[in-house]
Structures are given as structure tokens and as C-alpha cells.
Amino acid sequence: MTETTAKGWVKIVGLGPGDETMVTSQVQEVIEGATDIVGYIPYVERIPDRPGRTLHATDNRVEVERATHALGMAASGRRVAVVSSGDPGVFAMASAVFEALEVANKPTWLDLDIQVLPGITAMLAASARIGAPMGHDFAAINLSDNLKPWSLIERRLRLAGEAGFAMGFYNPRSKSRPHQFARALEILREACGGETLISFARDVSKPDEKIQTVTLNEATPEMADMRTVVIVGNKDTRRIGPHIYTPRYARDEG
């Protein structure tokens, strides 16, 4: 196939946290118009198979390879939707596509039509279910050490806690690194204080959704797994009836 940039495109889209009503209509339109769907197996499985649409489901650890494949197909005139859960710019495929573009170093690819379309990220979907824990300044941190050293994660946790940010943690606890989340809780107790509220939101917007809020002193590592996004408030985060919120103001206590 000869390379042409005339009609092909790559659109990197977010499918939201799970519920189909939380997929934006913009993203639905892209999926309707795509000839090829590229992504991690469970996300591609959310797209029905049908004539004229090819599904390319791959394992999670080959993001840049998958992105290069998507760019190559677009260069041959195909309309490619790269799918991520949540938002594609949050610990997901959008950066992988731009990294692949840089690594490939093909001048013609720089003229490709590449667009990123946002989705509802797990942290904000969970926050909305809980109340408004991210109502003031916050930090989003990926607790997986696949792509960065654990020492850096510890440092960021400590500094974000000490600076008074509320926090959202992605990929909090996997079977391959069971001790790290216990260590993360220890650091948070020291940096934020044991009475700070922490919420564990599992399978948000899916049929098995489970949301639990406790203090850092009460939290145990088993409350999190890879299907959970963890939300830690700041020291002003509080309960009002069944709701949890962080006030919109803060004081500078140094």
C-alpha cells in the first residue's frame, strides 16, 4: 500500500470509566467512522465487531508498538480509533502515540491528522460519586512502577501530601507488587495525618461499583486493587451527611 495522508487519521479517544452513557457523543461518532479500532484487549472488547470494522486488541504492555501500528495504518489511508478507558491523556495511549511518532522519525507522518478526544477519567468519575473531594487543588499519581522508579513515587507522594494536595491514585495495588501500597499508606499517614479521609472507588459506573471511605488510620492495603482508584482528601476534607467534600478555600500554614 502506498502512503497517503489524504484520508487517513488517528483519533485517540477516551471511553470513560465504564458506563456507556458516559462516552461522549464526539467519541461515539469517531468510533462509528473508524475502519480500525486499536487498544488494550478489555477496552477493544467494549466495541462491537461488525463488517467494515477491524478490531486490533493487544496486550497492555506494548503501547508504543500498538501506537506505531495505528500510525502506519493511518498513513495508508485508514481511519483509526485508538481507545483508552477514562481519558486517553491520563496514564494512557495519547502520550504513547506521540512517543511513537517521535521514535518513528518519519517526516510524512508529521502531516497525519492526529487528534485526542477527551473522556471522563476514573478519578473524576469517582469524585463525583463521592461528592466533591477534588474541590480544591489536587494531584493525580500513578502508583505503578512499570515506567518510573518506586523511589520517585514515594517522593511525589510525600511532597504532594505535605503540600496539602488532595490526591487521586491510579493503578494502586497489583499482585506483582503487594507491599508497595502498604508503604504508600504509611507515607500518607506521616505526610497528611491519620485522620485524613481516604476513599476506595472500585469499578466506578459499572454494575459491581463499590465505594468505601475511611480515615488513613483505618485504611488497609487490601481495600485497593487494580480496579480501584483511590482518593485522598486534604486536611479540610470532611463529611456532610453521606457526602464528602473539600472546601474551596485553604489557609497557608507553611
Residue 196 touches ligand SAH, criterion: CB under 6 A: no
Closest CA to 27 of 3, 7, 47, 8: 47
The number of beta carbons lying within 10 Å of the beta carbon of residue 112 is 18
Instruction: Say whether 192 sits in a helix, a strand or coil.
Output: helix
Q: Could you say whether residue 85 binds ligand SAH (CB under 6 A)?
A: yes
In sequence order, what E strands does the chain have? 9-14, 36-40, 54-58, 79-84, 113-117, 131-132, 138-142, 166-170, 197-202, 210-215, 228-232, 238-240, 243-245
Per CB under 6 A, the segment of 38-46, 74-82, 97-105, 195-203 that binds ligand SAH is 195-203
Taking the least distance from each CB to ligand SAH, the nearer of 205 and 234 is 205
CB of 15 to ligand SAH, least distance (A): 9
Which residue stretch of 3-11, 86-94, 155-163, 186-194 sits at the interface with ligand SAH (rule: CB under 6 A)? 86-94
Does 234 sit near ligand SAH (CB under 6 A)? no
In eight-state DSSP terms, residue 195 is T
CB of 245 to ligand SAH, least distance (A): 20
Of 30-38, 170-178, 183-191, 231-239, the window that binds ligand SAH (rule: CB under 6 A) is 170-178
Contact string (CB under 6 A) for ligand SAH, positions 90-129, x = contact: xxx----------------------------xx-------
Report if residue 226 touches ligand SAH, rule: CB under 6 A.
yes
- Please tell me whether residue 63 binds ligand SAH under the rule CB under 6 A: no
Between 6 and 147, whose beta carbon lies closer to ligand SAH? Answer: 147
Nearest to 167 by CA among 145, 147, 146, 187: 187
- Whole-angstrom CA distances from 236 to 58, 166, 169, 197 are 43, 10, 19, 9
Residue 201 binds ligand SAH (CB under 6 A): yes
| Distance in angstroms (rounded) separating the CA atoms of residues 90 and 99 | 15
